[in-house]
Structure 1
Amino acid sequence: MNETAPTRNGRPLSERVATRLLYPTSRPREKSLHDAVAGQIVLVTGASHGIGKASARKLGAAGAIMLLVARSAEDLEAVAADIRAAGGTAHTYPLDITDFDAVERLGRKLLDEHGHIDIVVNNAGKSIRRSIAQSYDRFHDYTRTMDVNYLGPVRLLLTLLPSMRERRSGHIVNISTWGLRIPPAPRWSAYYASKGAFDCWLRSVATEIGADNVTTTTIYMPLVHTRMSAPTDFSGVPGLTTAEAADLIGHAVTDRPHEITPWWTGPIQAFSDVARGSAHRFMARAFKRGKA
């Protein structure tokens, strides 16, 4: 077979093979996922598109009671309709996660209406790829990414965590980025800073809430071909489909590992920690050549 010929999902075979090698995914058995989430109240942010939509449908099909959060009421209702048509249960809550007062109100409303939340999938995110030379007059790039990727999720969890700790039950799944496991790449300063802030916050909080049986899983997600990544030309770059990303979320809620990350990021992170100067020079040369 011609290795450049498209496969059934439209991607070349060579890209699919590279994806499998670089980003192997763990797909839980249907029974295991059902046993883990059936009857559980699961909140997914950014549920109207991409990874959030795929994971909400997957968890809803497994019997979870889905609470869907995103900005667009119409798009949320479409996802909820899919879940209900498949026999599941879904409730929609339109929200701009950068409106921190509204986020707090929603958290309290969810607890009032449902009593508790079992699982939170922190998926809503904003990505910006822009060089620092193009950012001098765009401070709002940094405030927007911090609001969506860091401060909004923190505001939500500050509202939900007391209930989880009191019940001594709960799980938080954070959709982070594999970019935090390698040397910082050029043009991603706004995105990496915001994702890194929440990553560090959650890792610190996890050391406190674990004693109350509230657990966390951080997924250092590789590239996923979604509308969020579409503005950057990743054509030909190995990446996951939204269904494959949803499989990782299924793994996270079923087995509850501390983290899920591509296998090769550990050695790269170790090297960059020991040889930070060399890693920096490599990234700087790549930027100069226009390949980063």
Structure 2
Amino acid sequence: MNDSRLRQAVSGKTVLLTGTARGVTDAVTRHLTRAGAHVLLVAHPSHRPTGATPVYRADPAAPAAMRGLAERLLDEHDRLDVVIHAAGTPPRPASCRGVQHAINTHYVGPSTLIRGLLPALRSRGPAHLITVLPAHIRLPLPCRWGSHRASKAAFDTWFRGLATKTRDRDLTTTTVYTGLVRADPVALICDAITLRPRQIAPWWLRTTGASRLGR
């Protein structure tokens, strides 16, 4: 992570950060604020972020709330320069309700929010959309938490499809795959902002010319 590059990338820009991982969210917010960014947070109603950063509260498992949040953000901010999606919840025991909650939380809700924000991302000059996902969703592991992994994998597939659609426009995308690699997720997110690769991933997930090795 290079502080001067981060400052050059985000100083004076508006960055929207969604997240429920308190340590990561708070640390990324501190780095971005220190680099001169205007940071906005989207947090679950139960999450109490530290500091004075503006917070928008909405449950990612409620697609209607995500649509309403996108509309509110568009009303209040005509421009978003960087959107970082790192929201999620821990796996829950398998049940019909748990399956639907996982699908809404990890796929339907965030994809609804991002679709709603696309006008603000494309409104004026280049913008950057980043998502943070666990690397294990790309592995054929035993499905102890099948609905949790499947819902995140569905979002991953949708996001990679979005990346191909926006390839020739002013909107760039990066997927950061965390876990199973000795790397600080905060540093990886900051590297995604400054370097704008298609993905940051362990070597066994890399595709030719599309990713950067996580440190």
Range class of TM-score, shorter chain? 0.7 to 0.9
Matching residue of 1:207: 164
The alpha-carbon deviation at position 57 of structure 1 amounts to 1.8
In the alignment, is residue 194 of structure 1 matched against residue 151 of structure 2?
Answer: yes
Matching residue of 1:248: 188
In the alignment, is residue 259 of structure 1 matched against residue 199 of structure 2?
Answer: yes
TM normalised by structure 2 equals: 0.87
Q: 2-side partners of 1:129 and 1:98: how far apart? A: 13
Q: Equivalent residue of 2:17, what SS? A: strand
The alpha-carbon deviation at position 96 of structure 1 amounts to 1.2
In the alignment, is residue 171 of structure 1 matched against residue 111 of structure 2?
Answer: no
In the alignment, is residue 34 of structure 1 matched against residue 4 of structure 2?
Answer: no
Matching residue of 1:71: 44
Alignment of 1:271-290 (within 5 A): none
Matching residue of 1:148: 105
Does the CA-based 8 Å contact 2:143-2:149 persist in structure 1?
A: no
Identity of aligned residues (%): 36
Alignment of 1:29-178 (within 5 A): 29-46=2-19, 49-72=22-45, 75-76=48-49, 79-81=50-52, 90-128=53-91, 135=94, 138-178=95-135
User: Which ranges of structure 2 fall in alignment gaps of 5 or more residues?
Assistant: 208-215
Q: 1-side partners of 2:123 and 2:177: how far apart? A: 29
Rg: which structure is higher?
1
The alpha-carbon deviation at position 127 of structure 1 amounts to 2.8
Q: 2-side partners of 1:38 and 1:156: how far apart? A: 25
Does the CA-based 8 Å contact 1:97-1:148 persist in structure 2?
A: yes
Judging changes above 3 Å, is the alpha-carbon distance between structure 1 residues 211 and 160 closer, same or farther for their aligned structure 2 residues?
same
Q: Which has the higher helix share?
A: 1
The alpha-carbon deviation at position 100 of structure 1 amounts to 2.0
User: Which ranges of structure 1 fall in alignment gaps of 5 or more residues?
Assistant: 1-26, 82-89, 224-237, 268-292
| 1:100 maps to amino acid | P
Does the CA-based 8 Å contact 1:33-1:250 persist in structure 2?
A: yes
Aligned length: 207
Matching residue of 1:280: none
Judging changes above 3 Å, is the alpha-carbon distance between structure 1 residues 57 and 206 closer, same or farther for their aligned structure 2 residues?
same
Q: 1-side partners of 2:75 and 2:136: how far apart? A: 37
Q: Which has the higher strand share?
A: 2
| 1:179 maps to amino acid | H
TM-superposition CA deviations, 1:3-60 (whole Å, max 9, x none) = xxxxxxxxxxxxxxxxxxxxxxxx2x11001001111111111257132222122212
Q: Equivalent residue of 1:212, what SS? A: coil
The alpha-carbon deviation at position 147 of structure 1 amounts to 1.0
The alpha-carbon deviation at position 164 of structure 1 amounts to 2.1
Q: Equivalent residue of 1:205, what SS? A: helix
Q: Equivalent residue of 1:121, what SS? A: strand
